[in-house]
Structure 1
């Protein structure tokens, strides 16, 4: 096991001590590291009264200035968090930091996605987050108050975190043991028996417990993979021709035309008939002029027909004396062709005008305000717009409320009320609403909205966005049933975790705890090297949900506990901030269970039993075979509970008798 690095190597620098910066300092200090800070002014008012005592060194100055960074001794810091409220300052400071230190990890607060991607390639060891958008899924899910508590996309698969209460008619009730709920597409996260207080304790459940009515179960599941264009079968030219030829037969063409005619609107039918007539006249005109004047070329013939068709009669026959003889019947036909073409052009313009008007109407038209069981979203800034997108994706009816005209980029299909908040709340069917989200940039306004909403609809779920911790605590006391979420507190945990070199893929709340979906790349000095996924999961209190041996190998969702991590492996886990802290420090929970192996029914059983011991426990195969040769005997080292019970089960399948002992027994 790798020892935690010395304290001198664990310094982190936070630039910008606004609300986000102060929350980042507080979270970083929970890791037990040195935290220094830079701000352009000497802070007089702190969101956290104890924060000045947590900062090891504080520097006043502009973090974009080389002199200020040198004064802070940038070279002794492992990572720098550039989290001022000015994105331009953060980006400028990132370049200054990289010019002084080629290796330091840079975490930037920025919403410029395209620029962030370019900077990642340019600067290296760089990651950017938008602090206002990270918590958006947590707000959206808090408003739903349904089974889904988190969702994100991984390897083109939608993963959902679901919490359900088992009812008597549920398929699992009285029929399944908890450990059997784990499959290759699902992992059990927590189990709370009926009548007990809910808590999020990964692996705190007993594997052999039967699922009963009233139990609360939280699990993560993977949906079916998206079918991309790359996954479609590639056809050869011969196959494409065969497929095309089967569709070009006379019955197939007649059937297709008949279907188009029946399903088309009246306008579309007029357009089709007009197009057929004009095409016929064009062909007839070309043939007649070619027969009458064989000396002119085909291109000139087609050009004459096209000119007449587009109303160009005067270009050919507008002179007093014709330069060439034209029979009277061809002259009359040319007049009819021009008149028909003018009518056709008029029809075409009418159809195009109708399309433009309809498209514009659909673009500006808003959906009607839902009548009941909807979400009222107050505040359509960047956070509100992100929440609106998520609610739409989740197919949850909602209506947006904003005091001024919101960003034009807001999709036109979103129901919207633009008015003063007091008046707007009377227009959104608040009495029948399911939830009310108050996510404006003013936490006092959010409180006012929540109080008005509670007075009108006491049963509605209230979700309130706050910024200052003290204000959040006061609101939680005033409205104990409301879900009060600190925007910067949620984002700060992602920023702090990213400072240690991990990639934060998603953030969501579950049982009043923030969970981070975190991606690891196993480095030679990591505390993860050589561990089984079982040891990672039960030792650090996290849930591995993806493992990939190498970039050219397929990734495995819900991987087996028996996989051993090697340098270069990729792993994605769900973890609270405490779990990430334990990984960073290499602090594994103690193993407390001994497996007593009693006897094997045959030589083949002993061989299979040794293989199972080596695979599940991670010990050397020679150790496992020596143990099987000296039965009865206990496993010479303890295991974690879930690991030990699984070993007993695997040995039973190999016809080896074994039982579980405590570490004292």
Structure 2
């Protein structure tokens, strides 16, 4: 496996493939001034990956860059190659002609596209996983590269062709979980190919009550919810930590623990258009202020009264009386010198009302121009706003989360320090109130009405900025729900425990975009379509589509026999012929436990990362009978 990139996602992905799937990895990173030994020992992103690999570092020459091998006793290794750019020479040296898969996860879309075109030319059978923010461009690129593979290899298996190119977005993959974290009571959602899966956290049932498992129980939450020294919020598991995919005995043995249940699968209907939750079409009523509308109504009533009096005093037709009044109003009528006294008085009153009308018309014009002018600018948070979500950061991730929150009709106030950030245009188009300023400056959070907000989503790429924003917001409103984007798990665990100890009544969550997205990228590199991921505290459950044919862990077994507690569980069976994850397919959710899975069955499974590695490995291993602790505790074991 080859991974190209040098950010959090690249390191997470390499670690995922190395630790979970046991693959040999070549990691292509941009050339640095420090040596590879300093790269592996430097604290931060690289150290979080390589610190888990216990091995000696040996240097070997590599064309186009420097290389190091971080090996393990079983022979699997991570080879680090430093290079200035990903060209044909570097890809050939990395072994692209013999590789099974290549992931291009640079932060720059153009770099990834250029590398994908070169790799497809060098190896038509290579499985490509490309990180692109532009999803529309990604769909066209998928078709182009698959067609290129079919032309270069006419005998390529259609199943291999279907998995030949996968374009993913880390921001789009992580957005549902981040948006769900910000709102209490909002279900965790996985949406792909017409499928909508809801997973909801449930509190422990009262004594004597029976918890409703829904379609199935996906996880048991940590038993240390009120213990500041607990492990909730960490990726680590244990007897007191989260248990993924427990069996009925494990659920019965933990009556005081919360659960994550798959509650219901329903059709969500079409998403709201921009006109529904934005203000792309400006309402006429917002052109004029209330005071101006009242002034205009008063002038109109006065004109109507004068027209009525003119009709009664002169005996003219009502339309002619109204016409005379308008002429007098705009001072273009003949003087009523030879008219009756009543007509003369009414003409003077009409002229006076005309004088009053002029400033009203000028004010209306100025207000209309000002309204149209501010329609293309950012809105300020209204004074009476409350119950909203404060979204900090409008980069790639923040933009995706903002769009999802607005589709749910959740009020949002954005805070962004860069007026040219990617999400500013979306916030302007959706008429979302936005505060431009550094969150560390005094008064910025107050301008976002943080004291009246329900939740804070800190989604900048800087951990310290997110932490500082959370602490500042909690000082203003101690019971505020907070979700922080943090990369390092040890740091996230320490932050979570401290915030929970200081504010036990408030909800605190930490999320890592790379941690949420890396399993989907790794699964695509293994040649399987992962439909989505659901976070359970700081661990992840995956939903994947699996063919039963040729898999000894599924084919010929009943649904009950195929269930591996702590590893995987069959959720549904597809009834249509379309591949899951690509198009909407009919699904059967109520499966009989004694139904035998045949070669033609395609199933949807909920699985852990290690469970997916075993279930979808190139050489699946049958379940061992000498591992009772796995079934008993539902633990996620290697």
Q: Normalised by the size of structure 1, how large is the TM-score? A: 0.60
C-alpha distance in 2, partners of 1:471/1:208? 30
8 Å Cα contact 1:22/1:48 also seen in 2: yes
8 Å Cα contact 2:511/2:538 also seen in 1: no
Match of 1:27 among 3, 13, 16: 16
**Paired position in structure 1 for 2:281:** none
Query: Which runs of structure 2 are paired with 1:26-105 in the superposition (5 Å)?
Result: 26-30=15-19, 31-41=21-31, 43=36, 44-46=38-40, 47-49=45-47, 50=50, 53=70, 55-61=77-83, 64-105=86-127
Match of 1:393 among 407, 412, 421: 407
C-alpha distance in 2, partners of 1:182/1:460? 30
Match of 1:417 among 432, 435, 455: 435
- Sort the Cα spacing of 1:33 and 1:558 in 2 relative to 1 into closer, same or farther, 3 A: farther
Q: 1:22 Cα deviation (Å)?
A: 1.4
**Paired position in structure 1 for 2:511:** 485
Relative to structure 2, which stretch is displaced further, 500-509 or 89-98?
500-509
- Sort the Cα spacing of 1:381 and 1:18 in 2 relative to 1 into closer, same or farther, 3 A: closer
8 Å Cα contact 1:539/1:588 also seen in 2: no
Query: Which runs of structure 2 are paired with 1:134-283 in the superposition (5 Å)?
Result: 134-144=173-183, 146-153=184-191, 156=194, 158-166=196-204, 168=206, 174=208, 176=210, 181=212, 186-191=215-220, 197=240, 199-206=242-249, 209=252, 216-226=258-268
C-alpha distance in 1, partners of 2:384/2:570? 40
Work out which of the two has the higher radius of gyration on C-alpha atoms and give 1 or 2. 1
Q: 1:161 Cα deviation (Å)?
A: 0.5
Q: 1:207 Cα deviation (Å)?
A: 8.6
- Sort the Cα spacing of 1:355 and 1:530 in 2 relative to 1 into closer, same or farther, 3 A: farther
- Sort the Cα spacing of 1:526 and 1:355 in 2 relative to 1 into closer, same or farther, 3 A: farther
**Paired position in structure 1 for 2:545:** 519
Deviations 1:233-281 (A, max 9, x none): xxxxxxxxxxxxxxxxxxxxxxxxxxxxxxxxxx9xxxxxxxxxxxxxx
Relative to structure 2, which stretch is displaced further, 432-441 or 463-472?
463-472
**Paired position in structure 2 for 1:454:** 474
- Sort the Cα spacing of 1:208 and 1:507 in 2 relative to 1 into closer, same or farther, 3 A: closer
Relative to structure 2, which stretch is displaced further, 522-531 or 132-141?
522-531
C-alpha distance in 1, partners of 2:407/2:188? 13
**Paired position in structure 1 for 2:169:** 130
C-alpha distance in 2, partners of 1:87/1:141? 27
Match of 1:543 among 569, 578, 583: 569
C-alpha distance in 2, partners of 1:84/1:192? 35
8 Å Cα contact 2:394/2:416 also seen in 1: yes
8 Å Cα contact 2:388/2:411 also seen in 1: yes
- Sort the Cα spacing of 1:413 and 1:370 in 2 relative to 1 into closer, same or farther, 3 A: farther
**Paired position in structure 2 for 1:605:** none
8 Å Cα contact 2:574/2:604 also seen in 1: no
- Sort the Cα spacing of 1:429 and 1:568 in 2 relative to 1 into closer, same or farther, 3 A: same
Q: 1:580 Cα deviation (Å)?
A: 1.0
**Paired position in structure 2 for 1:381:** 395
8 Å Cα contact 2:190/2:533 also seen in 1: no
- Sort the Cα spacing of 1:558 and 1:358 in 2 relative to 1 into closer, same or farther, 3 A: farther
C-alpha distance in 1, partners of 2:107/2:254? 49
C-alpha distance in 1, partners of 2:438/2:93? 49
Q: Secondary structure at the match of 1:152?
A: strand
C-alpha distance in 2, partners of 1:219/1:371? 34
8 Å Cα contact 2:28/2:80 also seen in 1: yes
Deviations 1:335-372 (A, max 9, x none): xxxxxxxxxxxxxxxxxxx9999888777666736644
**Paired position in structure 2 for 1:14:** 3
C-alpha distance in 1, partners of 2:476/2:370? 40
C-alpha distance in 1, partners of 2:383/2:483? 20
Match of 2:455 among 432, 435, 443: 435
**Paired position in structure 1 for 2:332:** none
**Paired position in structure 2 for 1:233:** none
C-alpha distance in 1, partners of 2:425/2:603? 40
C-alpha distance in 2, partners of 1:359/1:527? 63
C-alpha distance in 1, partners of 2:224/2:98? 52
Name stretches of at least 5 consecutive residues in structure 1 with no aligned partner.
Answer: 1-11, 229-266, 268-353, 595-639, 643-665
8 Å Cα contact 1:446/1:464 also seen in 2: yes
Q: Secondary structure at the match of 2:425?
A: coil
Q: 1:60 Cα deviation (Å)?
A: 3.2
C-alpha distance in 2, partners of 1:45/1:496? 23
Q: 1:540 Cα deviation (Å)?
A: 6.6
8 Å Cα contact 2:549/2:555 also seen in 1: yes
- Sort the Cα spacing of 1:458 and 1:149 in 2 relative to 1 into closer, same or farther, 3 A: same
Q: 1:126 Cα deviation (Å)?
A: 0.8
8 Å Cα contact 1:540/1:589 also seen in 2: no
Q: 1:428 Cα deviation (Å)?
A: 2.5
Q: Normalised by the size of structure 2, how large is the TM-score? A: 0.62
Q: 1:114 Cα deviation (Å)?
A: 1.8
C-alpha distance in 2, partners of 1:210/1:492? 33
- Sort the Cα spacing of 1:100 and 1:134 in 2 relative to 1 into closer, same or farther, 3 A: same
Aligned pair count reads 457
C-alpha distance in 2, partners of 1:468/1:369? 37
**Paired position in structure 2 for 1:444:** 464
